């Protein structure tokens, strides 16, 4: 995109001890959060975690029960929404259907008495590469174009903070991924502070410089996307950001650079620096794509963990990879994502396999996961396990 004059930095945002109580429940409890000026920050979490309430508090649409909201160092806790240098882009674009694209973008500036409102609106439309449709009505645009018009309308007001409330939720998958990259580029162009609220993990990790994972009204973990994915600190983060295989057992050795955990009679090692706890009962994990499936028991190697034998109970083709579910007696079901380098699955359902992965890819959590509904013991029918898994997936799809 062409470089424009949108280059000023936004303002930093700080939440100090924010609490929000509604009749019968507490949505947010003692939330502290700092967002640097000019950054792209994502607040990520499931429905009901408090992320939308947090956004509404920042926008001034809700009042906190306790705590302060500071924008650019100024306390705006008691400031009315229209008095805050904050704009919001919603999932529903809320464009005026009877106005042209240009009139939609210039509307806010004209209401505030800016004489060069039309020129600034053209500048904002050029930023989102839509100045050529300035005279069209919103109904004549695609969903992605309407989303960009809504963004231009927000950016043209030069807010110190731009709030994005699930802005891509109404778009199809391909367009949503395209818009993720465009939003990131636009944020770099305008230099404003973006706060993106979403439940979409891929969306948050694709666009944001920093991601805060929210759960039950509090921040579970905050950091760069790669850090959260590769080194989750809690079971919630490990399972919410992608998939994780989690194993719980007693630490039997914590010498040197690794800790060794007894998991169902197997010894699994994790680097000490990647583990939150080093004694007692701990939970360790590894991402499914880090595992390698082997048809035969591998020769023991320093720096590699081995599990097996197990049995493949499901193999699901997903395009770039095949996702395997392997039942390991005494351990449970282990997920493996194998890149599709050829045609058809490498392992068939029912095959006996071994699993191996680099010790360096493991991580240790500060808490423990909820106990699994089913464990794969020696006397468990693997066909029944596969059926249970499919039923769980079907139930999740129906809920969604």
> Is the residue at 134 inside a domain?
yes
Q: Does the pLDDT at position 387 exceed 80?
A: no
Do the domain assignments include residue 6? no
pLDDT at 318: 82
Q: In the predicted model, is pLDDT for residue 163 greater than 50?
A: yes
Q: What is the pLDDT of residue 370?
A: 62
Angle among Cα 82, 85, 43 to the nearest 5 degrees reads: 105
Average pLDDT value for the chain: 86
pLDDT score recorded for residue 151: 86
What gap in Å lies between CA 217 and CA 163, rounded to an integer? 19
pLDDT of residue 197: 92
Q: Can you give the residue range of the structural domain that contains 43? A: 13-228
Whether residues 212 and 252 fall in one domain: no
Structure tokens at 396: 């999740």
117 and 141, same domain (yes or no)? yes
- SS3 category, 340: coil
Q: Please check the confidence at residue 378 and state whether its pLDDT lies above 70.
A: no
Is residue 223, in this structure, part of any structural domain at all?
Answer: yes
Higher pLDDT, 223 or 114: 223
Same domain, 220 and 76: yes
Contacts with 235 (C-beta within 8 Å, 6 or more apart), sequence order: 246, 283, 365, 367, 368, 369, 370
What percent of the chain has a predicted confidence (pLDDT) above 90? 60
The pair phi, psi for residue 254, each rounded to 5°, is -140, 40
Judged against a pLDDT cut of 60, whether residue 388 lies above it is answered with: no
Distance of CA 381 to the CA centre of its chain: 35
Whole-number pLDDT of residue 376 = 37
* 8 pLDDT more than 80: no
Task: Find the helix packing angle between 173-190 and 143-155, rounded to 10°.
Answer: 20
Same domain for 256 and 272, yes or no, is yes
* pLDDT exceeds cutoff 90 at 361: yes
The helix or strand, by DSSP H or E, that contains position 59, with its residue range, turns out to be: helix 51-59
- What end-to-end distance do the CA atoms of the chain give, in Å? 36
> Within a domain: residue 8?
no
More confident residue, 341 or 291: 291
Q: For position 290, what pLDDT does the model report? A: 97
> How far apart are the C-alpha atoms of 17 and 30, rounded to whole Å?
4
The DSSP call for residue 151 is: H
Which range is most confident: 119-133, 189-203, 275-289?
A: 275-289
> For the chain, how many structural domains are there in total?
2
Whether the model clears a pTM of 0.85, i.e. scores above it, the answer is: no
Select from 159, 194, 228 the last residue of a domain.
Answer: 228
> Is residue 3, in this structure, part of any structural domain at all?
no
Do both 23 and 158 map to the same domain?
Answer: yes
CATH number at residue 358: 2.40.50.140
Mean pLDDT within 133-148? 89
We report the CATH number of the domain holding residue 116 as 3.40.50.300
Burial grade of 174 (CB within 10 A; 0-12, 13-18, 19 or more): exposed
Which of 194, 228, 262 is a domain's end point? Answer: 228
Do 166 and 34 reside in the same domain of the chain?
Answer: yes
What value does the mean pLDDT take over residues 3-12? 59
Residue 181 or residue 264, greater confidence: 264
Whether residue 248 sits in one domain with residue 205: no
- Per residue in 299-347, pLDDT (tens digit) is 989 999 999 899 999 999 888 889 999 999 999 999 999 988 776 667 8
Query: What mean pLDDT do residues 178-204 have?
Result: 85
Residue 247 lies in a domain: yes
pLDDT for the residue 9: 62
Asked whether residue 244 falls in the same domain as residue 309, the answer is: yes
Q: Is the pLDDT of residue 194 over 60?
A: yes
The average pLDDT across 22-48 equals 93
Q: Report which secondary-structure segment, H or E, holds 389.
A: helix 382-399
Per-residue pLDDT, averaged over 186-206, amounts to 88
In a shared domain, residues 89 and 135: yes
Whether 53 is covered by a domain: the verdict is yes
Residue 203: the pLDDT is 87
Q: Residue 7: inside a domain, yes or no?
A: no
Q: Can you give the pLDDT at residue 381?
A: 43
210 lies in the same domain as 254:
no
Indicate the helix (H) or strand (E) that contains 139: none
Q: Region 190-215: what's the mean pLDDT?
A: 91
Please say which residue of 177, 198, 228 terminates a domain: 228
Residue 157 reports pLDDT greater than 90: no
Does residue 377 carry a pLDDT above 60? no
Cβ contacts of residue 45 below 8 Å, gap of 6+?
51, 199, 213, 214, 215, 240
Q: What is the pLDDT of residues 77-130, one digit of tens each?
A: 999 998 898 988 887 778 899 999 999 999 988 888 888 899 999 988 988 889
Q: Are residues 253 and 213 in the same domain?
A: no
Q: Which residue has the higher pLDDT, 6 or 196?
A: 196
Over the stretch 52-76, which tens digit does the pLDDT of each residue have? Answer: 999 999 999 999 999 999 999 999 9
Nearest to 65 by CA among 106, 22, 115, 102: 22
For residues 224 and 271, membership in a common domain is answered with no
pLDDT value of position 7: 40
């Amino acid at each position: 995109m062409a470089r424009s004059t949108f280059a000023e930095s936004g303002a930093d945002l700080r939440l100090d001890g924010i609490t929000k109580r509604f009749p019968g429940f507490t949505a947010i409890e003692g939330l502290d959060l700092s967002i640097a000026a000019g950054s792209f920050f994502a607040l990520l979490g499931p429905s009901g975690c408090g992320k939308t309430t947090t956004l509404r508090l920042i926008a001034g649409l809700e009042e906190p029960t306790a705590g302060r909201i500071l924008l650019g160092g100024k306390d705006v806790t008691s400031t009315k929404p229209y008095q805050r240098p904050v704009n919001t882009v919603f999932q529903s674009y809320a464009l005026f259907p009877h106005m042209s694209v240009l009139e939609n973008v210039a509307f806010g500036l004209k209401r505030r008495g800016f004489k060069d409102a039309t020129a600034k609106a053209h500048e904002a439309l050029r930023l989102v590469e839509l100045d050529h449709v300035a005279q069209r009505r919103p109904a004549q645009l695609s969903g992605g174009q309407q989303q960009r018009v809504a963004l231009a309308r927000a950016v043209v007001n030069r807010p110190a903070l731009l709030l994005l409330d699930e802005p891509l939720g109404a778009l199809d998958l391909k367009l949503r991924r395209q818009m993720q990259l465009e939003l990131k580029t636009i944020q770099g162009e305008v230099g404003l502070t973006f706060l993106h609220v979403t439940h979409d993990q891929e969306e948050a990790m694709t666009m944001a410089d920093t991601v805060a994972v929210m759960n039950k009204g509090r921040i579970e973990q905050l950091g760069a996307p790669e850090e959260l994915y590769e080194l989750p600190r809690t079971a919630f983060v490990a399972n919410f950001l992608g998939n994780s295989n989690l194993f719980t057992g007693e630490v039997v050795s914590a010498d040197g650079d690794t800790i060794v955990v007894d998991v169902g009679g197997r010894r699994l090692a994790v680097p000490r620096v990647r583990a939150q706890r080093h004694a007692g009962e701990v939970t360790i994990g590894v991402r499914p794509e880090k595992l390698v499936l082997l048809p035969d028991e591998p020769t023991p190697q320093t720096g590699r963990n081995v599990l097996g034998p197990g049995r493949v109970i499901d193999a699901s083709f997903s395009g770039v990879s095949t996702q395997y579910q392997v039942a390991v007696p005494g351990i449970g079901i282990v997920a493996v994502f194998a890149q599709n380098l050829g045609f058809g699955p490498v392992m068939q359902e029912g095959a006996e396999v071994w699993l191996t992965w680099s010790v360096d890819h493991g991580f240790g959590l500060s808490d423990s996961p909820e106990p699994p509904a089913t464990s794969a013991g020696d006397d468990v029918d693997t066909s029944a396990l596969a059926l249970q898994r499919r039923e769980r997936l079907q139930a999740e799809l129906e809920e969604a």
